[in-house]
Amino acid sequence: MEGEFAKLLEKSFKRLNNEIITGTVVKVTDREAFIDFGWKSEGIVPLKELGYKPKIGEEIDVCIVEPETEEGYALLSVNCARSIKEWKKIASDLEKKGVIKGRIKQRVRGGYKVAISQGITVFLPMSQVDIMPVTKPDDWLDREIEAKVLSVDRKRRSIVISRRKLLEEKRVKMRKETLEKLKEGDVVEGIVKNVVDFGIFVDVQGVDGLVHKSDVSWSGLKTPFDTVQIGDKIKVKIKKIDREKERLVLSIKDISEDPWLEVNKKYKLGVLVKGVIVREDKSGYWIELPDDIAGYVPVDTLPKGIKLKYHHKYRFMVDRIDEEKRRVILKWQEERQK
């Protein structure tokens, strides 16, 4: 029970130490001012801290530093009260301003401590650092940032900020400006935000766009993962602009002319070509040929015992052109492969 009582007392004291109490001067000596602040016993404030000799009846804002000294009085502080009032004023100014600048000083649980002006330290949650997930937390240390004030807790004297929210708000403005000037058919540069099975998500000057897997290559043999990585800068062509949803339909392959238009000139019957095995199905192997052309070798045309290896390059002969399925049908070259 004594341990629990001590914890409650400590918790109560910590709370009081962060609260401003207005007391009345009831007695003044050469060293101290005695303050009636509503407790059974009075409190004392050193005149050295107060900075002047107050008058009887004067009201002074204080904090409780020590609930009871050996003399039976509470030790009070005007500097603590001044500090709290100054902090509240700064916090109010920051709330009105909305955006602050600071330097990331230290990693803590769940985020960072950021030093801003006038000696104030604020908290930046890890989830609020950037639009993209933070993969290398230490790289952000000692970096100067601009962030939005997310919340102010005056009782706990804590401020939470968000760089991500500020970036998102800037992106909204940028997105509207970008959508006004973009046109279908434009070739633009974007940054890869994510890569998934069905396509590539690209940020084009603040506007989200998608390159569907069918628009990655003319041959259809390249997957999104074969083509780009997150963070890459790539050129894309705008196929469609959905202004209502503020999204773009993009294409990588449409930047270049369809190579199939020249397929009959470059892949004549009987010509020897080299290609890389990129896919296999029940009927045969898909081969990536030069100029982003899809080649195909039916498995039943291969000599007995021949099994082609994924990502290996082999020599083939052009057997025929399948115009309907847009693929060059190949057959195994009997001479020694090099």
What is the secondary structure of 177-204 as a DSSP string? HHHHH--TT-EEEEEEEEEETTEEEEEE
Q: What is the pLDDT of residue 335?
A: 55
Under the banding of pLDDT at 50, 70 and 90, the label for residue 148 is very high
Query: How confident is the model at residue 156, as a pLDDT?
Result: 79
> Tokens 């001012």 map to which residue?
33
Per-residue confidence (pLDDT) for residue 116, from 0 to 100: 86
Q: Categorize the per-residue pLDDT at 103 as very low, low, confident or very high, splitting at 50, 70 and 90.
A: very high
Reference 79, options 95, 68, 65; nearest CA is: 65
Distances (CA, A) of 331 to 220, 286, 299, 326: 20, 12, 9, 17
The pLDDT score that the predictor gives to residue 5 is 33
pLDDT for 55 beyond 50 = yes
Q: Is the pLDDT of residue 254 over 60?
A: yes
Q: Is the pLDDT of residue 25 over 50?
A: yes
Q: Does residue 211 contact residue 188 with C-beta atoms inside 8 Å?
A: no
Rounded average pLDDT over 66-76: 81
Considering the chain, what is the average pLDDT of its residues?
86
**Residues facing residue 328 across a β-bridge:** 295, 321
Which of the residue ranges 9-18, 117-126, 147-156, 311-320 would you say has the lowest mean pLDDT? 9-18
| Range list of H helices, the chain | 2-17, 47-50, 78-97, 163-181, 224-227, 263-266
Give the confidence band of 336 by pLDDT, cuts at 50, 70, 90: low
Residue 7 has pLDDT above 50, yes or no: no
**Predicted pLDDT at 6:** 40
Q: pLDDT category, 252, cuts 50, 70, 90?
A: very high
Rounded to whole angstroms, how far apart are CA atoms 215 and 212? 5
Strand partners, 72: none
CB-CB contact of 17 with 64 (8 Å): yes
Tens-place pLDDT, residues 279-311 = 999 899 999 999 999 999 999 888 888 888 988
Dihedrals phi, psi of 145, to nearest 5 degrees: -135, 165
Q: What's the rounded mean pLDDT across residues 109-124?
A: 88
- pLDDT for 184 equals 93
List the one residue out of 165, 188, 13 whose CA is nearest residue 98.
Answer: 165
Residue 118 structure tokens = 């006038």
The whole-number pLDDT of residue 334 equals 61
Q: Which pLDDT belongs to residue 4?
A: 46
Mean pLDDT on 316-338 = 84
pLDDT band at 257 (very low <50, low <70, confident <90, very high): very high
Average pLDDT over residues 238-260: 93
Radius of gyration of the chain (CA): 36
User: How much is the pLDDT for 18?
Assistant: 63
pLDDT at 3: 46
Residue 323: DSSP 8-state: T
Confidence band for 77, pLDDT divided at 50, 70 and 90: confident
In 3D space, the residue among 86, 229, 91, 218 whose CA is nearest the CA of residue 152 turns out to be: 91
pLDDT beyond 80 at 276: yes
